[in-house]
Structure 1
Amino acid sequence: MMTTLRIAVLCGLCLFCTKAFAEEPLFFSVLNQRSATLTAQYWNPILSYVSVRSGVPLRLKMGRTAPETTAMTVRGDFAFAYTNHLFTPKRDLLGWRVIARPAGKGIQGAIVVPETSPVKTLTDLAGKEVGFPSPEAFVGYWVPMDALLKAGVEVKPTFAGNQEGVMGQLKAGRIIAAAVNAQVMESYARREHFLYRTIWQSEAYLDLPVMAHPRCLATRWRRLEMPWLK
């Protein structure tokens, strides 16, 4: 997922952050998209590798929902965060900085329905209950909601707390359609053997980045950063 170069950047930041955060483990948050178990299965090997390379223990920590994790991130509970919920004018003032980003084609928002659903277009959703991960989800709320509004379609939003939460509601038949991260939806459907159709999909946007807390970005690190990124 991360290139070797980008992991090296994270290792370098870890070494510097030991002074900023004393000798305690550095907390690394991941925005809630999948279940806590699946998130841990994916991220713990990465964090273990970085911990060994840097000599600094990293510990995965998340809230129960995406809004809760974001609130903890804004509060400064973490040294690093894998998130795209900090790109607002107000949160930009907090000083978090992008240090790495997954390689790949990016992420896309999508509105999906079960394969057997009679819904064919966005207009078929008018007045219906549509599921979203959370009010702050970029490709799971802001992008698809913008498309709905531009199409003149008003829906009744309901929020599940994370990406796979809303997918589970769709699979269980609790909602008629779901706005999701298209890539996460593909993985979920493959794992859960769930057949679905996409009735709308956005252009590609940059994937979620790994961001560092400003306490990890003092002048000394800035001088060391450029050789890694060139």
Structure 2
Amino acid sequence: MKYGILAAIGLTATLGLPAFAANDPAGEVRTFGIVPQQSASRLAQMWGPFLNKLGEETGTTFRFRTAKDIPTFEACLAEGAYDVAYMNPMHYAIFSEESGYRAFARQADKRLKGIIVTRKDAALDDLSGLENAQVAFPSPGAFGASILTRAALTDMGVDFEPAYVNSHDSVYRAVAAGLMPAGGGVMRTFNATSAEIRDELTIVYETEAFTPHAFAVSANADADFTADMQQAFLRIAEENPELVSGIGMVGLQIAADGDWNDVRALEMSHEESGILQEGELTCPSD
């Protein structure tokens, strides 16, 4: 049955974020959490058509969920608050172990790199020019944009002061406005930011590549639901590629837990990763 169409937009009680309401109250409803790399309104605009189609394909209504920032999203992952979640590689390496999330899909033919951007008119020949500078990052636990880029600067012996500005888009805006000399991001969000901002920036460094973000189900998901999700993702990628490009991807493929062993091989602790390090964070409830 194809009854789970996400047709209406409302507000969540606690976060004031866009949310998709069920068209058929008799249908199954599950939450779909998206890592807040961009603003909630932008994410809802990007992901709404995809989640709508996913609901049709699986007979499930998916309620869009994100968080005000990445650390709060991490707190929700720690609680297993999302039935399905799109999370970064380090999130998956940690919360597959601690909260029981299990990957079922990922972007096809993709490796994730962190990037460091500056203004096009910046006189920055190499990263040593960031010595003793403030550098913008989305959050401590953003894998490509923060963890990998911070590690690259540290490995090069560059002393810098991290400034966490909540989202990838906020990084790009801060650098474009000249408020920060440089910032960390990833290619997907860099390409998805507004042309007006992007045209002010240039990429000066790329990190090593790793397995990209995971689509994962919670520990409570049964095997049938997971299999339905995998097949629905493949059908959408084949039959509706415009919906996949709408979320900034060129394809989707089935994933297995072991795909993220390259991230686990970094052997980063919570403290080293920066995940869930900002005080007593809790996951908001509806």
Q: Could you say which residue in structure 1 is the equivalent of 2:115?
A: 110
Cα gap change, 1:203 to 1:190, in 2 (>3 Å): farther
Q: Could you say which residue in structure 2 is the equivalent of 1:199?
A: 204
Q: Does 1:61 align with 2:65?
A: yes
Contact 1:107 1:183 (C-alpha < 8 Å) held by counterparts? no
Match of 1:181 among 183, 186, 202: 186
Contact 1:96 1:214 (C-alpha < 8 Å) held by counterparts? yes
After TM superposition, the structure 1 = structure 2 runs for residues 139-178 of structure 1, keeping only pairs within 5 Å, are 139-178=144-183
TM-score (norm 2): 0.66
Distance in 2, Cα, partners of 1:113 & 1:134: 18
Q: CA deviation at 1:217?
A: 3.5
Contact 1:189 1:195 (C-alpha < 8 Å) held by counterparts? no
Gaps of 5+ in 1: 1-21
Q: Secondary structure at the match of 2:178?
A: coil
Q: Which structure features the higher share of helix residues?
A: 1
Once the two structures are superposed, what CA deviation does each residue of 1:163-197 show, in whole Å capped at 9, x if it has no partner? Answer: 11111111221111001112311332535353222
Once the two structures are superposed, what CA deviation does each residue of 1:98-118 show, in whole Å capped at 9, x if it has no partner? Answer: 011122433211111000011
Contact 2:132 2:161 (C-alpha < 8 Å) held by counterparts? yes
Q: Which amino acid aligns with 2:119?
A: P
Q: Which amino acid aligns with 2:59?
A: G
Gaps of 5+ in 2: 1-25, 232-253, 256-286
Cα gap change, 1:208 to 1:90, in 2 (>3 Å): closer
Q: Which amino acid aligns with 1:55?
A: G
Q: CA deviation at 1:26?
A: 0.7
Q: Which amino acid aligns with 2:207?
A: S
Q: Which amino acid aligns with 1:71?
A: A
Q: Which structure features the higher share of strand residues?
A: 2
After TM superposition, the structure 1 = structure 2 runs for residues 1-230 of structure 1, keeping only pairs within 5 Å, are 25-84=29-88, 85-89=90-94, 92-188=97-193, 190=195, 192-217=197-222
Cα gap change, 1:83 to 1:182, in 2 (>3 Å): same
Cα gap change, 1:104 to 1:76, in 2 (>3 Å): same
Q: Which amino acid aligns with 2:121?
A: T
Q: Secondary structure at the match of 1:48?
A: helix
Cα gap change, 1:89 to 1:61, in 2 (>3 Å): closer
Let me know the Cα RMSD of the aligned residues.
2.4
Contact 2:28 2:59 (C-alpha < 8 Å) held by counterparts? no
Larger relative CO (CA 8 A, sep 6+): 1 or 2?
1
Q: Could you say which residue in structure 1 is the equivalent of 2:236?
A: none
Distance in 2, Cα, partners of 1:68 & 1:212: 19
The percent of aligned pairs where both chains have the same amino acid is: 24
Distance in 2, Cα, partners of 1:116 & 1:186: 19
Contact 1:105 1:204 (C-alpha < 8 Å) held by counterparts? no
Cα gap change, 1:167 to 1:212, in 2 (>3 Å): same
Contact 2:87 2:213 (C-alpha < 8 Å) held by counterparts? yes
Distance in 2, Cα, partners of 1:89 & 1:65: 18
Matched residue count: 206
Cα gap change, 1:60 to 1:111, in 2 (>3 Å): same
Cα gap change, 1:191 to 1:53, in 2 (>3 Å): farther
